[in-house]
Structure 1
Amino acid sequence: MSSELHAHFHPDERPFVDKALEWIQRSARQHDVKRTDFLDPRQAWILESLVNREADVQLLLFGGYKQAERRRALIAPDYLMPEPEECGVALIEATSPDGKFAELDHGDFLGALTALGVKRDKLGDIHLHEDACHILVAEELADYFSLNLRQVHRVHVFTQRLPLERLRPAETQFQEMKLSVASMRLDGILSDVCRMSRAKVLPPIKAGRCKVNWKVEEDPGKPLRQGDVVSLQGFGRFKILELEGESKSGRIRLRVGKYS
C-alpha cells in the first residue's frame, strides 16, 4: 500500500486498511468472495471507499436490518449478485421470567456474550426490550450462542434462534444533558459530559482512547459538530443531538445524549 494512501488513515486503522486491500485484490484478481465479520461504521466506510477504487469489485453491507450500525460485508467480483442472506447474519432472542431482566443493559449482554470466548467482531447490534433482548450475531456461531448463553449478570435467560423477519429494533435511548460551553472543542465537551477536569481528559485523548464517529481522535482541540458520536474508553459514548444557539454571553448551548 502506498504511503500516500496510508496517510489518509490513523495509524491504528492501517492494519485494517491493509487487510481490506488484500480482500479486494483477491476478489478482483482471483475472483474470490470474501465475507467479513461485523464492521463498525468507520470500518465499513473505509472498506467502501477502498472498494470504490477498484472497478472489478462490488460490496454489499448488511447487518440484519436496514438501519444496522454494525454490518457484515460481502466483497465479490462485479459479475456476481450477492444477496443479503449471504452475509450470514442470524438473530438470537434472550428472555427470562426474572423481574430483574428489565434492569439489564447493553453492557450486561455484551459482557455475557464475550465471556463465552467470542470476539466482539462476531456480534452485531443488540436490541433491548423489557421482555426480550434481540441479538444479531454471526450465523456460524448462532447455535453456539443459543446453546451457551444461559446467564446475563446473574439473571438466568432462555435463548432461541428467530428468523430475521421477527427482529424488533429498539429505539436508541439517550440520557439527555444540556450544556453551556465556551467552544465546541472536543476536550471541553468531553470534560463536561464525563464530569472530569479538562486536565484529566487530555491524557486519554492523546493516548488514542477517544473516538469521534468511530475514528480515533488524538487532537483535544478537534471541533465537534451536531450529529457527532464521541466515545471515551471506560466512559461510554454520547452524541451531539442539537446546537441550541448562543447565550447573551456568547457561550454555546447544546443538547447531548449519553447512550444508555
Structure 2
Amino acid sequence: MNEHIYAHFHPDEHRFVDKAAEWVERAEQHAVKLTDFLDPRQAFIVTSLVNRSADVHVRFDGGHPGAERKRAFIAPDYRVLDDEDMGIRLIGVTSPDEKLQQLDHGDYMGAILGLGIKRDKVGDIYVRPDGCHFLAAAEVADYIRLNLNAVHRVHVQTELLPLDRLISTEVKLDEMSLSVASLRLDGIVSDVYRLSRAKVLIPIKAGRCKVNWKQVEDPSKPLKQGDVVSLQGFGRFKLLEVEGVTKKGRYRVKIGKYA
C-alpha cells in the first residue's frame, strides 16, 4: 500500500509517510497515537492518510487556535476526541535583565535544544520584549522548566502556566520590495538573500530548501503569493504579494522575511 502512497510525496518524506501509515493502521486495530508536534506539511500527510481510512479520525491541537505546529491524536472513529488530553504545556520565560529584550526566536530555540530536547517536542515560540511563551510536550515540560536557566548568556526564570495564559504574538516580518526577472524559486531566493544564482542552486538541488514546508529541489519552480520559503542556514520568508509587472517585463514583489 505504501508504494502507491509514495507517488504523492517527495522521497525524503517516505520515512515519515511510513510512520504515519503505521499510526493509521494501528488505529484501525483500536489503538491510539498522540504524536509529537508536527509542522504543517507533516500534518497534511497525516490528514491525507487518515482520510484514506473510513475507520479512523484525527484531532490536531497546538495549544491555541492559531498554532502552526500541532500534535495529532489519531484514533478509531468511535472514540470521542474533544476531551482527550493533547499533552501540551505552556512555559513562560522571564528575566529582570534588560538584555532579554534583545533575544529572538533563534536564541530561545537554541537554548531549548541545548538541553537535549528534540525539536519535535517543542511547539510554537512567541517572543516578546518582556520574555517568551512557548508550547512544549507534557513529557518534557518539567525538565525544561527545571533546566532552562539561561538563554544566550541571559539568566532567565521559567514557570509552567495554564494554557489560557498564553500571550501569542504576531509573527514579525521585515518587509522588502524587489524587482525580479521571474517568479522562479532560485531567482527570488537569490535576490532575498543577496546571493548569486549559482550559490543558491547548490542548497536547492541538495534538498535544503522548502516551499510551504515541502522539500523542493527544482530551482525553476514558480512561486505564488502566500508561499513560505525556507533555506537551511538562512531562515525563511513569505511572498506577500505580486504587485505587478514593469514596462520591462520584470515582476514587482513584496517579501516578508521572518525575524
Provide the TM-score with structure 2 as the length reference: 0.98
Match of 2:117 in 1: 118
- Deviation by residue 1:43-64 (Cα, 9 ceiling, x = unmatched): 0001001100001001000000
Q: Which moved more, 1:104-113 or 1:245-254?
A: 245-254
Unaligned runs of 5+ in 1: none
Determine the C-alpha separation between the residues in 1 that align with 2:173 and 2:84.
31
Distance 2:190 2:4 in 1: 35
2:10 is aligned with 1:10: yes
CA distance in 1, matches of 2:111, 2:71: 22
Question: What residue identity is the alignment partner of 1:223?
Answer: P
Contact 1:60–1:74, Cα closer than 8 Å, also in 2? yes
CA root-mean-square deviation: 0.8
Structure 2 residue runs of 5 or longer lacking an equivalent are none
Aligned to 1:150: 149
Shift of 1:140: 1.2
Contact 1:245–1:252, Cα closer than 8 Å, also in 2:
yes
1:85 deviates by 5.3
Which amino acid letter does the alignment assign opposite residue 190 of structure 1?
A: V
* Whole-angstrom CA distance in 1 between matches of 2:131 and 2:189: 33
> How much has 1:106 moved relative to structure 2?
0.3
Contact 2:2 2:18 in 1 (8 A): no
CA distance in structure 2 between the partners assigned to 1:47 and 1:2 by the alignment: 13
Q: Distance in 1 between matches of 2:84 and 2:110?
A: 27
Displacement after TM superposition at 1:150 (Å): 0.3
SS at 1:125's partner residue? strand
Match in the other structure for 2:96: 97
d(CA) in 1 for partners of 2:25, 2:66: 29
Task: Write the deviation string for residues 107-157 of structure 1: whole angstroms up to 9, x where unpaired.
Answer: 000000000001000000000111120010001111111110000000000
- Partner deviation per Cα, 1:82-112 (whole Å, 9 max, x = no partner): 1365111100000000001010000000000
1:234 counterpart residue number: 233
Contact 1:62–1:84 at 8 Å: present in 2 too?
no
Q: What is the alpha-carbon distance in structure 2 between the residues aligned to residue 188 and residue 114 of structure 1? A: 33
Provide the residue aligned with 1:211 in structure 2. Answer: 210
Is 2:178 aligned against 1:179?
yes
CA distance in 2, matches of 1:92, 1:118: 14
Distance 1:84 1:138, change over 3 A: farther
CA shift at 1:2, angstroms? 3.8
1:43 aligns with 2:64: no
On the 8 A contact 1:244/1:254 being kept in 2, the answer is: yes
* Conservation of the 8 A alpha-carbon contact between 1:60 and 1:84: no
Change (3 A) 1:84 1:200: farther
Give the whole-Å Cα distance in 2 for the aligned partners of 1:173 and 1:71: 20
CA distance in 1, matches of 2:38, 2:83: 15
* Alpha-carbon distance between aligned partners in 2 of 1:216 and 1:113, rounded to the nearest angstrom: 25
Q: 1:244 to 1:27 in 2, by over 3 A?
A: same
The number of aligned residues is 259
- Check if 1:24 corresponds to 2:24: yes
TM-score by length of 1: 0.98
For residues 232-257 of structure 1, the C-alpha deviation after alignment (integer angstroms, 9 at most, x for no partner) is: 00000000011111111111101000
Identity of aligned residues (%): 63
- The answer on 1:225 being equivalent to 2:237 is no
Residue 160 (structure 1) aligned with residue 154 (structure 2): no
Deviations 1:177-209 (A, max 9, x none): 101011100000000011100011001100000
Structure 1 residue ranges, 4+ long, deviating more than 2 angstroms after superposition: 1-4
1:14-52 CA-to-partner distances (Å, cap 9, x unmatched) read 0000010000000112x1110000000000001001100
**Quick one: distance in 2 between partners of 1:164 and 1:153?**
26
Cα distance change, pair 124–85 in 1 and its aligned pair in 2 (3 A) = farther
